[in-house]
A and B are shown apart, each in its own frame.
Chain A
Amino acid sequence: MFLKRAVLALQALLAATLLAGAALAGPVVNSGHIESELVAQESGIAPGGTIYVALRQKIIPGWHTYWRNPGDAGEATKIAWTLPQGWSAGDMVWPTPQKAKLGPLLDYAYEGEVFIPVPISAPADAPVGATISLNAAVQYLVCEQVCVPEDAKLTLLLPVVAGAAGADPRWGPVVADVLAKAPKPAGLKAVFKLDGQSLKLAVTGGPLKGADMAGAYFFPYSPKVIEHAAEQVIDRGPEGLTLTLKPGYDFVGGGTPPAELQGVIATKAGAWEVTATAGEPPAAAGGLGAPAAETAPATGTSGGLVGALVFAFLGGLILNLMPCVFPVLSMKAASLAGHAHDAGKTRLQGLVFLLGVVATFLALAGLLLAVRAGGAAVGWGFQLQSPVVIAGLALLMLLVALNMSGVFEIGTSVQNVGSGASAQGGATGAFFTGALAVVVAAPCTAPFMAGALGYALTQPAVISLAVFLALALGFAAPFVAVAFIPGLLKLLPRPGAWMDVLKKGLAFPMYGAALWLVWVFAQQSGPLSLAHLLAAGVLAAFGAWLYGLGQERRASGKPALVSILVALLSLGLAIAIATVGALHAAPPTAAATSAETSTGPGLAAEVWSPEKVKELQAAGRPVLVDFTAAWCVTCQVNEKVALSGSKVADAFKAQNAVYLKADWTNRDPVIAKALAQFNRVGVPLYVVYPKNGGQPVILPQLLTEGLVIEAIEKAGQ
């Protein structure tokens, strides 16, 4: 008793000696695990004023205390205040906690040094000049492997001063910093939606727009709303993010689903308090996939900006060899040989072609970015997911092929037939050749491009466009090289009758391209629409023939108006029929599609869904997911070459593996999202999930049987 009085007297004496008035903490309580004390942000408090007093705890390494929701185990720190009459303490301000993983459990904890500020208010009649004793009984649980509940009785002596006291010299800035970083409401809009066994939390607005979402996490205030230990899957959006959480007792265990979901959304850029209400997540809260850093091991080919630019350039070069592009360009190159004597004209054509390629690439990329910014989940090749575009392209390819077969001519008077275009027509032609080549080439996602495009579309717009520019330059490079390097041009044989033969020969790959597009169209739109398109094709061919006839008649001085008019009418009708067919597309159902496109007698594909993958993984079966589309040539080749043989089927059987197909022929946001999780924006993508539930492995875009078998055997171990 005497000792206690002596201590109090000493404290009072000390307080009195600090005339300027500084808050004076009672002795630091050291439990062996933790040093606890009260510290004030201000050196005094004015009557009627409020200041922050923080509980400071310095925890020894390896041990932790708990947040307001301790997670799966543990207990939150509690403070019980004993204050003089009229004084009051507000709610504890909890800094963002850390995640403490304990085997299958997850706790929300504090390590090292933690400050928990509490607002303390003085009554208006607090006597200026007095020193007030604030007493706090702190109860906390501190754990390492084992847990120890501890108590600390803490005291802070606080002078009552007239007017503002000023910051405490030692702790003022520290407490201010803690308060600045503590999660606060920031006008974020938050919506949650229960979707079967997953709980979507979409947060958009202010500070989240454009923030680095890597490692973003939602700490719920209630312990009953989510499974804490389940992974929170991040999907970034232009305006924020969507987290996929595993719902807890209140949602799926029989409890009462809450009207509000409250907690802290923590990102590298900061942490904010959110209060979500039930509703539909806005489109701008997702669609861009996981943050790059989180899936870094799965990306493979994206090696930063320089790497992406190099791969984009190489990818562009390779695109020239695609079956739909090659004939167009080779014809153009051959016609360049006709100008070999006129270096100026040749160069002009080369430049204009380059311009056409670059303009079209950037336009497509810009459109893609704009659509994605609008929140739609689309990827590269998206233009081919529209049956209208496919029908249009099919007719266009048919006309180009007919033109190459010599059925009719474009942009030339009849005198010029077979002798090359005029300089004027050549330049315009070059521009549109470039544009056409890009539009048709886009879906032929060459192996080198996937990583680069995936990288491009997850970056700021300027970088995205830079990558597409590199792609365009690579694509245009061979043609421009031919135009600008006289040596190359001289290597081409002299123009002559052979050119006509070559041209007519190269018409056949174009017919092939047209037929391929028709096949794609059939996959998208069903048999009835296919009939429309085929009829349109016959009409278009008829029109083209009539048009050519008219050109011939005019060349020989005969009247040709009627045949040309009928020709144009047929063409118009063809376009109308094709459009009607495309708009009334009745795509075959998913099940029917998969049955139809099952790749071989031995290896039957099942329809992919994220749930299906989880289910199979839970059952301990290796899974190969084939992200494919009818319009993706590489995909079709891989399926024929590497996924339909009996050896592959045997390997799947031996490992009890499952082959899942995700068909992206038509737009599908779920597939787009899955692609984004692997930092891809296009198909093909082959992912093998090992049976032990480990990290998925991405296979190369060009498959061989051996490669697939090896991957499946590895996944089965």
Chain B
Amino acid sequence: MSITRRLVAAGLPLTALVPTLAHAKPAPEFTAVDADGKTRSLSEFRGKTVVLEWVNEGCPYVKKHYSGNMQGLQQAARADGVVWLTIASSAPGKQGYFDAPAAKTWMEAKGARPTALLLDGDNKVATLYKAKTTPHMFVIDKTGAVVYEGAIDNIPTSKVEDLGKAKNLVAAALADVKAGRKVATPFETPYGCSVKYKDA
């Protein structure tokens, strides 16, 4: 084995890292008011793992996951010290629009336990993250980089019975982050209803 080849071999793990570094996407900073009227921003959670979840209570795909799956995921994540931000981006007059009381009533009814539910009726946060569907999930690591983006699981249907067969990609990403591993599946095409933007 020549020296050159040895050097190349030694360099390989480094080059394998390069694409990951190149695609490390910083999570855009945002500010929004939550259902309790408090102004929250992403930066206040710096140093913690953050999950963003786009919600529209009327969407059949959201309903599928709020049959218990989403609540369970929220509880498990928060028990691990993860910050969970549910974001309602439907514009006023559109399906899934929340004002503060409506959001609280819905959370109560569903037993949803996010760290906060952000009211994004003006689409500001959705636009920053190019949120496409409900649900649309993001996992942001302690350094503020988006390490997972996309669907909640790998079976894109609205049927509750598919939950048992599906692999939950958010749970998998959180497990990878917790273990200090590189997230195995950093993207899956999001599925669901379109986010109800104001000009849609």
Please give me the residue from chain B that is nearest to A149 by CB atom: B158
Which listed residue (B59, B191, B192, B200) contacts A102, Cβ 8 A?
Answer: B200
- Establish whether residues B195 and A73, one from each chain, have CB atoms under 8 Å apart when the complex forms: yes
Instruction: Looking at the assembled complex, report how far the CB atom of A714 sits from the nearest CB atom of chain B, in whole angstroms.
Output: 24
Give how many A-B residue pairs fall within 8 Å (CB-CB). Answer: 74
Which listed residue (B187, B191, B200) contacts A103, Cβ 8 A?
Answer: B200
- Establish whether residues B130 and A146, one from each chain, have CB atoms under 8 Å apart when the complex forms: no
Given contacts A73-B133, A105-B132, A139-B157, contact A254 B197 (CB under 8 A): no
- Establish whether residues A146 and B191, one from each chain, have CB atoms under 8 Å apart when the complex forms: no
| 8 Å CB interface, B165-200 against A | 186-187, 189-200
- Establish whether residues B186 and A145, one from each chain, have CB atoms under 8 Å apart when the complex forms: no
- Establish whether residues A254 and B193, one from each chain, have CB atoms under 8 Å apart when the complex forms: no
How many angstroms between the C-alpha atoms of A104 and B19 in the bound complex?
Answer: 28
- Establish whether residues B60 and A102, one from each chain, have CB atoms under 8 Å apart when the complex forms: no
> Does A147 touch B at the CB level, under 8 Å?
yes
> Does B143 touch A at the CB level, under 8 Å?
no
Which listed residue (B94, B157, B187, B196) contacts A254, Cβ 8 A?
Answer: B187
Chain B residues with CB under 8 Å of A139's CB are: 157
- Establish whether residues A143 and B187, one from each chain, have CB atoms under 8 Å apart when the complex forms: no
Please give me the residue from chain A that is nearest to B60 by CB atom: A149
Instruction: Looking at the assembled complex, report how far the CB atom of B54 sits from the nearest CB atom of chain A, in whole angstroms.
Output: 11
Chain A residues with CB under 8 Å of B200's CB are: 101-103, 105, 145
- Establish whether residues A141 and B158, one from each chain, have CB atoms under 8 Å apart when the complex forms: yes
Given contacts A104-B197, A141-B158, A254-B23, contact A73 B132 (CB under 8 A): yes
Band of interface residues on B: 20 to 34
- Establish whether residues B158 and A75, one from each chain, have CB atoms under 8 Å apart when the complex forms: yes
| 8 Å CB interface, A242-290 against B | 249, 252-255
- Establish whether residues A107 and B187, one from each chain, have CB atoms under 8 Å apart when the complex forms: no
Chain A residues with CB under 8 Å of B58's CB are: 146
- Establish whether residues A107 and B189, one from each chain, have CB atoms under 8 Å apart when the complex forms: no
Instruction: Looking at the assembled complex, report how far the CB atom of A465 sits from the nearest CB atom of chain B, in whole angstroms.
Output: 47
Instruction: Looking at the assembled complex, report how far the CB atom of B46 sits from the nearest CB atom of chain A, in whole angstroms.
Output: 23
Instruction: Looking at the assembled complex, report how far the CB atom of A334 sits from the nearest CB atom of chain B, in whole angstroms.
Output: 67
> Does B41 touch A at the CB level, under 8 Å?
no
| 8 Å CB interface, B122-139 against A | 123, 127, 130, 132-133
- Establish whether residues A73 and B192, one from each chain, have CB atoms under 8 Å apart when the complex forms: yes
- Establish whether residues B60 and A148, one from each chain, have CB atoms under 8 Å apart when the complex forms: yes
How many angstroms between the C-alpha atoms of A141 and B60 in the bound complex?
Answer: 10
Given contacts A102-B200, A104-B127, A139-B157, contact A73 B187 (CB under 8 A): no
> Does B43 touch A at the CB level, under 8 Å?
no
> Does B31 touch A at the CB level, under 8 Å?
no
> Does B95 touch A at the CB level, under 8 Å?
yes
Given contacts A105-B200, A145-B196, A254-B19, contact A223 B157 (CB under 8 A): no
How many angstroms between the C-alpha atoms of A101 and B192 in the bound complex?
Answer: 16
> Does B69 touch A at the CB level, under 8 Å?
no
> Does A224 touch B at the CB level, under 8 Å?
yes
> Does B67 touch A at the CB level, under 8 Å?
no
Which listed residue (A102, A103, A148, A253) contacts B23, Cβ 8 A?
Answer: A253
- Establish whether residues A102 and B189, one from each chain, have CB atoms under 8 Å apart when the complex forms: no
Chain A residues with CB under 8 Å of B158's CB are: 75, 141, 149
How many angstroms between the C-alpha atoms of A73 and B19 in the bound complex?
Answer: 28
Interface mask (A96-122 → B, CB under 8 Å = 1, otherwise 0): 000001111101000000000000000
> Does A74 touch B at the CB level, under 8 Å?
yes
Chain A residues with CB under 8 Å of B105's CB are: none
How many angstroms between the C-alpha atoms of A75 and B60 in the bound complex?
Answer: 12
Chain A residues with CB under 8 Å of B190's CB are: 73
> Does A500 touch B at the CB level, under 8 Å?
no
Please give me the residue from chain B that is nearest to A141 by CB atom: B158
How many angstroms between the C-alpha atoms of A660 and B149 in the bound complex?
Answer: 38
Instruction: Looking at the assembled complex, report how far the CB atom of A190 sits from the nearest CB atom of chain B, in whole angstroms.
Output: 23
> Does A606 touch B at the CB level, under 8 Å?
no
How many angstroms between the C-alpha atoms of A135 and B196 in the bound complex?
Answer: 36
- Establish whether residues B186 and A254, one from each chain, have CB atoms under 8 Å apart when the complex forms: yes
- Establish whether residues B59 and A147, one from each chain, have CB atoms under 8 Å apart when the complex forms: yes
Which listed residue (A74, A103, A105, A249) contacts B198, Cβ 8 A?
Answer: A103
Interface mask (A126-155 → B, CB under 8 Å = 1, otherwise 0): 000000000000010101011111000000
Q: Give residues in A with beta carbon < 8 Å to B.
A: 72-75, 101-105, 107, 139, 141, 143, 145-149, 223-224, 249, 252-255
Q: List 11 A-B contacts (CB under 8 A).
A: A72-B133, A73-B190, A73-B192, A103-B197, A104-B130, A105-B132, A105-B200, A107-B194, A149-B157, A149-B158, A254-B187
